[in-house]
Structure 1
Amino acid sequence: MARPRNPLLSRDRIVGAALALADAEGLAALSTRRLAAELGVSGPSLYNHFATKDALLDAVVDHVVGEVDLSMWEPSRSPAAPVDWALALLSWARSYRAALVAHPHLVPVLAQGPGRRANALRLADAVFGGLVDAGWPKADATRIGALMRYFVFGSALGSFAAGFVDDRQVYSEDYPHLGEAHLLAERRRQIDEGAFETGLAALVEGLAAQYGRLAGPDAG
């Protein structure tokens, strides 16, 4: 029997092509017609795997969440060496931001919350469970999870440095404290990553101080 010209469709192949298209051209380019053309198939064949475009988009963004490392929250096999929640929070936040920065066009959709997405729910469960197991009261663990999401998504949603033009004349006369602002854009990655690390350290250090004031694992 002759082999098919195109590989058989699968959910993974569709999701991979959709993600590549969204990364390259943005969500506006992600239509079933365009995706079918990229895959070399007819449009209706996609619906055998995803009933709606929203279902496909859910799968794409959940695939991105699946790139986030959660291993730092896995319980230790030794009771004498429990998970260090502060170090876990630092590592997880960095991995989360890296996944978002790699797929910037999907950040607004990801920010809507986990919904029914398996990887997103697994992430929420790991972080919340890790904090509670470390002794944080459930109410505090919930707030910390929300706080970290706000911070990580905010840092990935846009670039502070890229918001400044590279024209010295714009800042030379009326803005005396912005004499080097024209240099920010070319140092975008260094500045944006440095700002993230500065904020992340401040957040976790503040939480550590709060944690030290807890009366015990059942407090609150």
Structure 2
Amino acid sequence: MGRPRKPLLSRARIVSTALELIDAEGLPALSTRRLAAELGVSGPSLYNHFATKNELLDAVADTVIAGVDVSAFGTGADWRTGLLAWARSYRAALAAHPHIVPFLARGPGRRPAGLKMADAAFGGMVEAGWPPAQATRICAAVRYFVAGSALASFARGFVDDPDAYDPADYPHLGQAHLLAEHQRQVDEGAFETGLRALVDGLALHRPARVPPADG
């Protein structure tokens, strides 16, 4: 029997299948045995492409981060425009794959896409006139905010049973049972409110040498 024209496995196929598994069932579901079964191959064959599970997770995480748009930095646009565009794209990428967020929260490590994102954001802020130490803290703050927003849902924290919130005990939660029904609106609105407050607050404390915003 001749050798197949195309290899049964590739790094891209392994990463894609691993991400699908994590999306569907969470990080604990990912194992060499389970992934091999999903791919229809033997477990040891995976090690020809990834030496360890962490190496595979790094590749999965980097695939997610590769979808983050940092193009607003370095275009000459106002620093606030760059920060807002980055944060929104970053959250969208993470919100689409929330189960990988705890792994991503460890930082970019040696992952190329993660490092390119960090380099673009930090470089964009420094080029806009922010001192490097402050630019580092700003990028870290955005990262914390985005990861938390993508990982959790405020609206889903409340049950849809109106009897769960007795006004005698919770006089201000009379409408809390309706939040879950409007999850996307609540969570996206909360993210935008917090992001705007963060950026507007930074604008109030920017160093004098930072160019003024365009509006």
Q: Deviations over 1:153-203 (max 9, x none)?
A: 111111111111111112133211111111011111100000000001111
- Select 1:96's aligned residue among 74, 90, 109: 90
**Does 1:186 find its partner at 2:186?**
no
Q: How does 1:34-73 map to 2 (within 5 A)?
A: 34-73=34-73
Equivalent in the alignment of 2:29: 29
Distance 1:151 1:39 in 2: 35
* Structure 1 unaligned residues grouped into runs of 5+: 77-81
CA RMSD, 1 decimal? 1.6
Q: How does 1:116-131 map to 2 (within 5 A)?
A: 116-131=110-125
Q: How does 1:1-220 map to 2 (within 5 A)?
A: 4=4, 8-73=8-73, 75-76=74-75, 82-173=76-167, 174-211=169-206, 214-216=207-209
Query: Offset of 1:40 from its aligned partner?
Result: 1.1
Query: Offset of 1:207 from its aligned partner?
Result: 1.0
Distance 1:88 1:13 in 2: 33
Query: Offset of 1:2 from its aligned partner?
Result: 5.7
* Structure 2 unaligned residues grouped into runs of 5+: 211-215
Runs (4 or more) in structure 1 with deviation over 6 Å come to none
Distance 1:162 1:30 in 2: 25
Normalising by the residue count of structure 1, what TM-score does the alignment of the two structures yield? 0.90
Distance 1:83 1:131 in 2: 11
Distance 2:31 2:130 in 1: 44
Distance 1:215 1:205 in 2: 15
Distance 2:99 2:208 in 1: 43
Percent of residue pairs bearing the same amino acid type: 70
* Residue correspondences, number: 209
Task: For residue 68 of structure 2, give the secondary structure of its aligned residue in structure 1.
Answer: coil
